[in-house]
Structure 1
């Protein structure tokens, strides 16, 4: 800002500038001057209501609702009512105005939207549930009334992420975790691809800034040569389309940082090993005489006259669009330099829907039908969603997990015996399909025929399968079904049925377990349960207690399990430097202290000194320490952000800790012996176990060893990577990447 203008005047100029920009976007969608005047009224009302309130950045608070309103109309394409709701969406929460006041000023519909957008008081959360999950749950209950509520909420989150740099580190981790856990799949499910991509990138930027910056820098460094390659690839296609009188815009786009990072993690690749860094997009202006999907295939045939196509990588979303309305034809062709390139073919209408989601879909429908009615593509998803939302007694965290299951990113299309198509999430089973048809069919499913072949209910389904469900009146849902169903709808119905029958069994199982622990002299039940439950292959403590109460499992071997867990770790506690637990607005800046409480190292990610870590306050008084990259930590940050503790290594009090490395390479005689010599003799690192398998000249191995710090771990990886024949080596991480 200019130095010669008072700060207050600069802020007033900023607010006026943002409002002028908003009105430029709003006026084209206003039906009349009355609409424009309502938007002005909402701005003046919100500005006065938030007067004197500042954001963390120091800017007037009104800049936030103005920015959200600009996203709503400019980047998503919603109308006047949504803009007004966005402008006043925080008034009820932050001021003395009520929903009734909003209704009096702006009408019942906008008041209803604001009510759905208003953040709920932390007092609504119980001690057993996450405050965020409880708030999400109540917010999502409004979704069945008006989907614009959740779209505006996504816009609100997008602006918060764009300005997250002004927040303290624990708040950044919490908000970024919530974003990747819930808001990214929500944006995807509503077809908001551009916003989904930005949210992914911003979340990565604050969760793993070093990795984000490294990839961004490498992309920037190789940009010039990539532009040359794209231009050379596009030119023959552009000429071919021109010869065929096809009016199209062709451009290349670089994959976003998050998608590159995700591929590097999931496939254990380096940046240099990823070759499909860019994709080509063809957006054509359709002719009225030929169907759009026919024109897509015509363009595909012209492209394959130039470049060879990989037919196994064709994605036909023009004949069967994705469940979120996405339409396009994707193909992969071989460039003249020997690199596979993805080409996306869309009409102008398809492209608008791909970038702006259902808002654009409604607009095109409105133009075609002269009606603003709710589109049938969104309604089936909302109908299924309402089944999940219609269970107010459900635990909030469990509810959030079930809801998230309905936001599946990858999908398959299967068919009923009569040929009706059904879209299911990738990885879904026959039983998920049965519940998708009807809850009564799912609850009495005995088996199925997939492509006329008899299969069990746990069979995973694939695109193109024709599925017939076999039912029996004597069948009822079983606990075991929860082990293989993947959709929230199926899981919800199964759990509701089991809950009605198993409350007594759960109570009896809990009493048996508590008595056993009492006999063993163990008092910290929560910590013991976290060790025991996975050993009995149970999903949670209720399933464990239920099986125990029904006599399906026995506690005869529990002492052995506890001894094994105790022996598997050489050390358990460290002294760390931590900040006081984050308490929202009451957190004191710089309030660091040396804390002598017990810090328990998480077994899911095995953090060691040198790793970037984060802590969570547990109910038993200990602090659970995770690597920041741990997927469990990300979910805990999203669900239990109020328990985050900012932790760093202070003074190491241990000599070594167990960690695991995975190897792959060309097998040869003496390979294992060479590895043992380098690790044990040259480096003095204690090996606990080695497991190696060899097939067709390729070996895969796992080595568990004790190291003292992250520096030791890096040295081991560096030395072992130089052993002849070793092709891949990495420290074990979670395989699921958010």
Structure 2
């Protein structure tokens, strides 16, 4: 626990340590004596998840939620108890994470994935619950060997189909790499070892040049009074493997492919301001001519907000090396997404503690919606999303998710679930509280329809407030009224 506190204070000296300790103590109390399938104590898993959240510099409430993410499962805690024991924002995040887990797995896998993506959209107002879920999945990979092969493959499939793509789309590339490499090691062990060995051989081929390169860069930048941090990284293994499968030549081995791949080795040059990015580029090109690959993602950001100048030089033994030049703010956004501590600290917060990042959030949502629509399986039920602002995503108590137009009511929801449920509807509970049937539902809410089995006729008054054409048609038909076209 102390290591976690030190890690948090390193990037957030004003962290609410009392809150984090409170969450840890609650987790210890609730999960006392509990062990995972691997034999690991449950509290170790919760600490591991919290460490992963601190790695991407999340705020106190998100890390507290990471420590408590399983407290509503297999413990005596329920929502009411949790809300009395911890800050409201933390309990809200824990409940949202719990909803992510609650999606029914009783249905076929394709529908599960579609439902999960719908639910992800319901928490788009605050991406921290999604990041907690991703961190939990990353930590799960460390004990995957404890699972039976069939269960292991199920977990790996969801990581590749859902969680890793999501991490990439929200800009959490650090998590994306951890998810993909962790799953790659289990899914394709032979290829994993081949790629790992090939990358290792490439690094040996450039010798100590990698160690000396940063000092040369510092020297050139100092000449032009540019303050910077310079450090290297290698392309993560699964990304190399994917590129190998897509671009290999006939009969080409992983080792041969890695030698000619231009972005296996990369250096990051982190500067203080945007204008310094272009000055640094000019300094580097004065020493090393520009290589075959160049992208200016500062002038033309990726849809998810990624910004950087990416260029290449040729190192020893004709090994290509990628150079990524960016500001600190760009780097933290690129690596950790819009929830990074320094990023939302600059942007401020909305009422209720949600992360406020209007332009970036719009880009992120557009990208997420594009990812969602591209990955829907052929033949799956029609799921039309215009934008997160004119649709709401409402859950059943069992965790199934239904999309409705903005302004939809519990009656619309009941008919969306089943026409018989709509006809027999006599009331509704939203978040456990009785609401009028004309109540306008909001994304992420859990709605329970109270039905009267003896009742099979809707109320004529419902036509005054229902939003969906489908509900309106079903009501008119049940009442024996003429169904008007477009009604």
- TM-score range normalised by the length of the shorter chain: 0.5 to 0.7
Which residue number corresponds to residue 53 of structure 1? 34
Confirm or deny: 8 A CA contact 2:138 2:175 kept in the other structure.
yes
The question of 1:76 aligning with 2:60 is answered no
Hey, what's the Cα distance between the residues in 1 that align with 2:104 and 2:320? Answer: 53
What SS does the corresponding residue of 1:359 show, helix, strand or coil? coil
TM-score for the superposition, normalised by structure 1: 0.46
Hey, what's the Cα distance between the residues in 2 that align with 1:246 and 1:94? Answer: 55
Hey, what's the Cα distance between the residues in 2 that align with 1:129 and 1:178? Answer: 9
Confirm or deny: 8 A CA contact 2:38 2:146 kept in the other structure.
yes
* Aligned ranges 1:188-267 → 2 under 5 Å: 188-231=168-211, 236-267=216-247
* Pairwise CA distance, 1:266: 1.0
What SS does the corresponding residue of 1:118 show, helix, strand or coil? helix
Hey, what's the Cα distance between the residues in 1 that align with 2:301 and 2:342? Answer: 18
Figure out how many residues of one structure are paired with residues of the other and give that number: 379
Confirm or deny: 8 A CA contact 1:324 1:377 kept in the other structure.
no
Unaligned runs of 5+ in 2: 391-403, 406-487
Which residue number corresponds to residue 6 of structure 2? 24
What SS does the corresponding residue of 2:206 show, helix, strand or coil? helix
The question of 1:166 aligning with 2:146 is answered yes
* Pairwise CA distance, 1:218: 3.3
Instruction: Tell me which structure has the larger Cα radius of gyration.
Output: 1
Which residue number corresponds to residue 615 of structure 1? none
What SS does the corresponding residue of 1:23 show, helix, strand or coil? helix
- Give the alignment partner of residue 363 of structure 1, picking from 337, 342, 349: 342
* Pairwise CA distance, 1:351: 2.2
* Pairwise CA distance, 1:111: 2.4
The question of 1:44 aligning with 2:11 is answered no
Richer in strand (by share): 1
What SS does the corresponding residue of 2:42 show, helix, strand or coil? coil
* Pairwise CA distance, 1:206: 0.9
- Give the alignment partner of residue 178 of structure 1, picking from 154, 158, 162: 158
The question of 1:342 aligning with 2:326 is answered no
Which residue number corresponds to residue 333 of structure 1? 313
Hey, what's the Cα distance between the residues in 2 that align with 1:124 and 1:336? Answer: 54
Which residue number corresponds to residue 484 of structure 2? none
For CA contacts below 8 A with separation 6 or more, give which structure has more relative contact order: 2
Q: Deviations over 1:528-563 (max 9, x none)?
A: xxxxxxxxxxxxxxxxxxxxxxxxxxxxxxxxxxxx
Hey, what's the Cα distance between the residues in 1 that align with 2:70 and 2:107? Answer: 26
* Pairwise CA distance, 1:248: 2.6
* Pairwise CA distance, 1:329: 0.4
Which residue number corresponds to residue 100 of structure 1? 80
- Give the alignment partner of residue 380 of structure 1, picking from 362, 371, 374: 362
Which residue number corresponds to residue 91 of structure 1? 71
* Pairwise CA distance, 1:20: 2.1
* Pairwise CA distance, 1:121: 8.0
* Pairwise CA distance, 1:49: 1.4
* Pairwise CA distance, 1:396: 12
* Aligned ranges 1:273-672 → 2 under 5 Å: 273-274=257-258, 275=260, 276=262, 278-286=264-272, 292-310=273-291, 313-335=293-315, 337-360=317-340, 363-364=342-343, 366-367=345-346, 374-381=356-363, 384=366, 398=380
Q: Deviations over 1:103-147 (max 9, x none)?
A: 121243322221221167889455556574366246425413421
Confirm or deny: 8 A CA contact 2:100 2:120 kept in the other structure.
no
Residues 365/121 of structure 1: CA separation in 2 closer, same or farther (3 Å cut): closer
Residues 194/105 of structure 1: CA separation in 2 closer, same or farther (3 Å cut): same
* Pairwise CA distance, 1:298: 1.6
Confirm or deny: 8 A CA contact 1:120 1:135 kept in the other structure.
no
Hey, what's the Cα distance between the residues in 2 that align with 1:230 and 1:345? Answer: 17
The question of 1:114 aligning with 2:82 is answered no
* Pairwise CA distance, 1:200: 1.3
Hey, what's the Cα distance between the residues in 1 that align with 2:181 and 2:372? Answer: 33
Hey, what's the Cα distance between the residues in 2 that align with 1:177 and 1:322? Answer: 27
Q: Deviations over 1:7-34 (max 9, x none)?
A: xxxxxxxxxxxx22222234564747xx
Q: Deviations over 1:561-583 (max 9, x none)?
A: xxxxxxxxxxxxxxxxxxxxxxx
Residues 402/192 of structure 1: CA separation in 2 closer, same or farther (3 Å cut): farther
